[in-house]
């Protein structure tokens, strides 16, 4: 499954995604297409932590779990999408990327993970 996920992540580059990964909820990399020189372990742990914090915050407000967390900066966005109980899909978008197209592609990856 890892090779298949890696291929699906590489396809995100066509949508303007600089880096992407499938990460377990406890911060382990399942599959990735990250820029060289990235601190993969730190990136993975922090992305899992961001989604975990969003889930906890929503629970405190008696809300359902978030489907997606968005982090915006001056040079782009990072999207962290729920992929079931055990994983998240993360994409780092370049400025000007089509967020809707990326979100749809990420949703397909998330669904694939949920079905596995």
pLDDT at residue 64, as a whole number = 95
pLDDT at residue 1, as a whole number = 67
Q: What is the pLDDT along the chain (116 residues), one digit of tens a residue?
A: 689 999 999 999 999 999 999 999 999 999 999 987 778 999 999 999 999 999 999 999 999 999 999 999 999 999 999 999 999 999 999 988 999 999 999 999 999 999 98
Euclidean distance between CA atoms 108 and 79, whole angstroms:
14
Residue 17 contacts residue 93 (beta carbons within 8 Å): yes
Burial of 2 (0-12, 13-18, 19+ CB in 10 A): exposed
Give the CATH number, domain containing residue 63: 3.30.450.30
This model's pTM is above 0.85: yes
Domain region containing 107: 2-115
Q: What is the domain count for the chain?
A: 1
């Amino acid at each position: 499954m890892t090779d298949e996920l890696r291929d699906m992540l590489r396809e995100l580059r066509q949508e303007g995604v600089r880096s992407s990964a499938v990460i377990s909820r406890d911060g382990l990399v399942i599959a990735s297409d990250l820029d060289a020189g990235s601190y993969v372990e730190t990136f993975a742990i922090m992305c899992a932590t961001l989604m975990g914090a969003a889930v906890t915050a929503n629970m405190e407000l008696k809300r359902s779990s978030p489907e997606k967390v968005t982090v915006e900066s001056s040079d782009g966005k990072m999207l962290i999408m729920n992929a079931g109980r055990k994983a998240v899909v993360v994409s780092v978008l370049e400025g000007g990327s089509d967020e809707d197209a990326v979100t749809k592609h990420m949703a397909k990856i998330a669904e694939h993970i949920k079905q596995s």
